[in-house]
A and B are shown apart, each in its own frame.
Chain A
Amino acid sequence: MDLLTPELGLFVWTLLAFLAVFFILRKFAWKPILNTLHERETGIADSIAAAERVKKEMGQMQAENEKIMMEARAQSAQMLKEAKDMKESIINKAKEETKAVADKMIADAQQQIQQQKMAALTEVKNEIGKLAVEVAEKVIRKQLATADSQNDYAQMLAEEIKMN
């Protein structure tokens, strides 16, 4: 059939044109386009990988931050607690010390009071003794002022001695 026999002219022209197109496009179109596509794809893949990595790192950093925060919080809580304890202990100690000092002072005061009292009592005793002697002297002096009374008294004494 006529339709199925290829014409040589058309065949030759097609071959020439196709080969020309092939060589021109290979050098000036396909190579740059395919290379650019390839580069862009690898570029995008790299960017995505980098972003993923950064995200992961960020996550890690965040976790670390959290951990550090937790630690700091725990530390501060402990410090507060310690401070509180210390405060209480200081107060208690102070109280005790004050009490001890006060007790000692009281004890000292009492002792002193006792001493003073004893001294005062001794003085009073002495004074009273002296006064009594003086009074007795005066009384005796008065009673024995007259010779009669001295005789009487001497007599009485003598009587007493006799009775004994």
Chain B
Amino acid sequence: MRSGRLFSLLALTFALSSAPVFTFAQHEENHENAHATEAVAADGNHHEEKKEGFNASEVIFGHIGDSHYWHLFDINEQPVSLSLPVIIYHPTKGVEMFSASKFHHGHESYNGYHIEKGMKEKIVSEDGASIIDLSITKNVLSMIISVVLLLWIMLSVAKKYKKNGTMVAPTGFQNALEPVIGFIRDEVGKPNLGNKYMRYMPLLLTVFFFIWINNLLGLLPGGANFTGNIAVTACLALVSFIVMIFSANKHFWGHLLNPPGVPLGIKFLLVPIEIISLFIKPIALMIRLFANILAGHIVILSVISMIFIFGALSKVAGWGFVPVSLAFSIFMFFLELLVAAIQAFIFTNLTAVFLGQAIEEAHHDDHAHAEAGHH
């Protein structure tokens, strides 16, 4: 396999040159894996696969989707990966737990289940029953790692605060986190939530750091595309939405369902729009984070894939494109580092804005009017 050899050389170069590049190299290995499985699916016909050349979309979707394996690299075209636990709820058989290695990388079926690989990897029951897949997938494992990291960092920092007392200057990691926490409090919490900000600070801080650390882990070599998964962003948006609904006050509902000072005819038009806008808020949160992170991953992978697309055409073109691709992917990597923080901030800020609208008191307006009247 020509592209295979080219790939392994490149992988080595990438791994030696820099960490971010290593990420992309591994993504490429995903492609090899995808190739291999595809080849197997085509009854082991390697010649047919060769003719197809490099399939960039398969590589990319292989990475951005979830998986029951944590693929690390290939040795002699054999994928080396962690097989993750599969947990399935079957309506008649009940809960079943076994390792994904039983599927032999999707080649075999086990216990009446097999893996189906479309745009996403899915476990399907062979008896046609609709099962619930609660497996610890790559994304779930990545999240568990980030959660452990997050808890460890924050609890150790909190311990330092407790130990040092109030009037001791922060040191070490505490010093790095303090401005971030202060930023969330002063730029997100206080302006949007007014004097009730302390009630919502734990939520805002958790949302921010949860998204941020997961964004960053997603950028690591071999990292999962966790925050670029719509299930994740939907979950976070739902949490924000529920908090918003439950903290909304009379003033908010009054303005939403019976806007004051609006003629009756227009109310019929306005109220449905207001209700739709209420639901659009979490949907906007969900899609914004999902699309941004997903797009970042896709762009980086596409840029790297170009090497192999050109490499499939001719070896010289492939090598020739390496510097261009590298330069662009490094640039993209830095951009994604920025995006990781910015998207976490935007999600947190919008949550705060929505919460602020929900808990806004009526007298705020009156006060403003009264002040305007004085002038």
Contact = CB atoms under 8 A, between A and B. Distances in A.
Contact of B155 (A10, A18, A29): A29
Interface string B96-120: 0000000000000000000000111
Contacts of B140: 9-10, 13-14
A105 B30 CA distance: 140
Contacts of A19: 239
B252 interface: no
A7 B66 contact: yes
Contact of B231 (A6, A22, A29, A39): A6
A33 B206 contact: no
Interface in A1-41: 1-15, 17-22, 24-26, 28-34, 36-37, 39-40
A43 interface: yes
Contact of A21 (B118, B210, B229): B210
B3 interface: no
Given A3-B119, A9-B132, A9-B135, A14 B232 contact: yes
Interface in B123-145: 132-137, 139-140, 143-144
A135 B239 CA distance: 167
Contact of A18 (B136, B210, B230): B210
Question: Chain B's interface: helix, strand, loop or mixed, by majority?
Answer: helix
B178 interface: yes
A40 B166 contact: yes
Interface residue tally of chain B, by bracket? 35 or more
B202 A30 contact: yes
A34 B186 CA distance: 12
Nearest to A19: B239
A7 to B, nearest CB: 5
Contact of A12 (B134, B178, B198): B134
Contacts of B151: 21, 24-25
A36 to B, nearest CB: 4
B120 A26 contact: no
B232 to A, nearest CB: 5
B182 interface: yes
B157 A14 contact: no
Contacts of A20: 147
B235 A11 contact: yes
A54 B155 CA distance: 39
Question: Which of A3, A7, A26, A30 has the most C-beta atoms of chain B within 10 angstroms of its own C-beta?
Answer: A7
Contact of A32 (B66, B150, B162): B162
B234 interface: yes
Contacts of A32: 158, 161-162
Contact of B181 (A3, A7, A10, A37): A37
Given A13-B134, A32-B161, A34-B198, A6 B210 contact: no
Question: Which of B66, B143, B165 has the most C-beta atoms of chain A within 10 angstroms of its own C-beta?
Answer: B143
B193 interface: no
B226 to A, nearest CB: 8
Interface string A109-147: 000000000000000000000000000000000000000
B138 to A, nearest CB: 10
A29 B133 contact: no
A66 to B, nearest CB: 36
B258 to A, nearest CB: 33
Interface in A28-77: 28-34, 36-37, 39-40, 43
A5 to B, nearest CB: 7
A40 B167 contact: yes
Contacts of B72: none
B144 A17 contact: yes
B175 to A, nearest CB: 13
A10 B202 contact: no
Nearest to A38: B198
Given A8-B132, A10-B66, A21-B206, A34 B201 contact: yes
Question: Which of B132, B147, B182, B294 has the most C-beta atoms of chain A within 10 angstroms of its own C-beta?
Answer: B147
A17 B202 contact: no
B235 A18 contact: yes
Contacts of B210: 18, 21
11 contacts: A2-B120, A3-B61, A6-B234, A11-B231, A13-B136, A17-B144, A18-B206, A24-B155, A25-B154, A33-B161, A40-B167
The 10 closest A-B pairs by CB, nearest first: A6-B231, A26-B202, A29-B154, A2-B119, A29-B158, A10-B231, A30-B202, A14-B235, A11-B231, A36-B161
Interface of A: 1-15, 17-22, 24-26, 28-34, 36-37, 39-40, 43
